[in-house]
Amino acid sequence: MILTNANGQPLTEHRASEGVRQWRDKAKLSDTLRLQDARGTAATRLLNAGLSLAQIAGFMGWGLRHAQNVIGHYARLSPDESDTVLEALTAAKKARTGTGL
């Protein structure tokens, strides 16, 4: 167990999301940022760091196609990383299927 509440019990999804919302608002960040965005960002950065789609999907508990879709979505949202990550994603797809499809 990684995240707990003040009583040492597992942090619920609702409470974790509420905590992120409070931090986001306090930092005056976009109100479109959500807790689940952290997984997409992490997956994108893992690909950029050289992990395979299969490794990322395994770590995240996703299927390969879902991992591809999530990483593609988040790469497009991050202009600083887009080109590099999309190139890595294309290469990973080609390596996985032999065709890039």
pLDDT tens-place string over residues 23-69: 889 999 888 877 777 888 888 888 888 888 889 999 889 998 999 88
- C-alpha span between 85 and 87 (Å, rounded): 5
The structure's pTM equals 0.59
Q: Domain segments of the chain: what residues? A: 1-35, 37-97
Question: Please, which residues have CB within 8 angstroms of residue 72's CB and are 6 or more apart in sequence?
Answer: 86, 89
